[in-house]
Amino acid sequence: MEAYDATNARRYLLRFGPEEELVEALVGWVSMRGGRATVRGTGAFASSVIADVEGEERKIAAAEAIAISGVVDDGEAQLRVTLLRGMQPIGGTLVSAKALGADLEVLVLDPDAAAEVSEPTTTAPGWGDVAAASAAAAAPAPKPSTGPSWADAAAASQQAMTQPEPRRKKRRKPQPQAPLFQPDPLPGQKQKDLSYLDEPQPEPGDFVQHKQFGKCRVDRVGEDGGLVIKLPGGRRKAIKLTVLEVLDPTEDSQGRLVYPLVPRKKR
């Protein structure tokens, strides 16, 4: 059994719109914020693929997801889902899903929190029990008549996502936002390479030119040098600027800033 300290866990509400690939987008988002999280929520899928206990996959057409729960750890998602198609419930492990709409409550665990490993017992709990215990430990005590409801939180999240981005001047060079102080590394701990902060920094709405993926739009910018880019085909991909060097931007025929990306040379 592995137990993780959820004292410093951060809670987020993620809302997925039509045609978004839920599992892939969720894994990329969590990877940029520590790589380990517990997930629970509901939604509706235009199509999905689930696997039974023997690993046999099954494609499901449009259905309601009345329960989604599980964990994301080290770039992989282990999500259990209960679908309702007509009056027939269908359960299994969610492999992929194209959303019609979904709301997920994500509890991101502290990436630096070490796991406590105990000796196995006759009834050792699984990852799902650890996820439920972490969520219960971090959940605030419910108030009888005050505080926003789940619907209020979802509406606030939707309003924040639909705010138009401010217009930006062309041919500007973003200034890197380096931290004010760099903490000394612990003994034996490898110091992080922050040299990418001295390079041009793409922002959401800009474009990058990737050797493999082509010209891609920047959707999100992480705090640790990570980017989520939207590929020409519509898929989203998480990349790290610690392995890619960002060159000075150019302007394409439509007046958009495009940052070339090249493999970073090893030092």
Q: What is the CATH classification number for the domain harbouring 241?
A: 2.30.30
pLDDT-based confidence at 141, cuts 50/70/90?
low
Same domain, 124 and 219: no
* Whether residue 166 has pLDDT greater than 50: yes
Same domain, 127 and 229: no
Question: How far apart are the C-alpha atoms of 17 and 14, rounded to whole Å?
Answer: 10
Same domain, 244 and 130: no
Q: Is residue 177 part of a domain?
A: no
* Whether residue 144 has pLDDT greater than 70: no
Question: How far apart are the C-alpha atoms of 32 and 9, rounded to whole Å?
Answer: 15
Which residue would you say has higher pLDDT here, 225 or 117?
Answer: 225
Residues of the domain holding 115? 2-139
How many domains is the chain partitioned into structurally?
2
pTM score > 0.75 for this model? no
Q: Is the Cβ–Cβ distance between 240 and 75 less than 8 Å?
A: no
Q: What percent of the chain has pLDDT over 70?
A: 67
* Whether residue 29 has pLDDT greater than 60: yes
Nearest to 244 by CA among 211, 219, 221, 205: 211
Average of per-residue pLDDT across 141-165: 61
Q: Is residue 22 part of a domain?
A: yes
Q: Is residue 170 part of a domain?
A: no
**C-alpha angle with apex 175: 174 to 180, nearest 5 degrees?**
150
Same domain, 213 and 123: no
Same domain, 106 and 212: no
Same domain, 127 and 204: no
Q: Is residue 26 part of a domain?
A: yes
* Whether residue 207 has pLDDT greater than 90: yes
Q: Is residue 37 part of a domain?
A: yes
CA dihedral 53→54→60→66, nearest 10 degrees, is: 0
Average of per-residue pLDDT across 18-23: 90
Give the CATH number, domain containing residue 36. 3.30.1330.80
